[in-house]
Structure 1
């Protein structure tokens, strides 16, 4: 058997983890995820993408010095399919991921963040699969910074299946991230980091 089970055509969790270990050993620039029973490969972030994460990290740390915005920490998501996601960033109390491996529990995660990359899977991955997976995992806030539509989308109130609330604002307007984050973002600077 290769990476995909020839009998079913399905990539198993064990196969996914082996592919991820292979990418690390061979130093290939892959960012892998396993959501909804499907393997996903994310684009490697560009400079504007990194600048957005740095901007957000500073704002979150100013709001609470006990928080940290961890870039690319893998998370175990979903209850049914036991998926793995690698958000662009996760906001947590600073000690949350201590002692955990590459794929950490979502316990203690206050917010996950994705910044669109413009690759062919962005629409499905960031706008459909991720909100569902993060809501199933009951992550309180999912922040999507959509560089294609020049909007910030704030998903909140997960019910274990989906987020019940979605606030959408264009770049340039202020938006409040709800509890437990409770931070107001002035999104004007995001206009500078759209390509």
Structure 2
């Protein structure tokens, strides 16, 4: 087999893209550096220039997932404007959309989040979570949430609800056509539960 030529940095990106596809299609257990190399047409030793072992590749894949999620959440919040309700809806829609069809990768991300602090994924996870937490904390400081509401508890509630929706969606329990309305209903419930004062008056 003739080894393909990759410009500097391209092989690492190609490996991560192929690894993500493999995890989505076959699960984490089936991921193999040797098989990734074979699929990309490079020598079996080539991936080790970027990832010394399978664990390093998985950590990098989890980090990439959190980096992407964080970027999408930040972009959605910025586009939503100053309203807490609009921002929360943007966060919910973005999170559910990101997880659609990629739950094996999301599960890897959450598993890697609890890895050793020397791993890259936990730091990337904190950066991604910081986006919605900042929105909730700002709403709390601005008096847009009920008095006595703990921002950390509110953030956990939001993530629990959104991740639960993601699991149901990817498990086929929610039809794709019903997802937008279901997300809106969930956000309505979160706004009510958080005592949001940004809801439009009746």
Normalised by the length of structure 2, the TM-score is 0.27
Normalised by the length of structure 1, the TM-score is 0.27
Higher helix share: 2
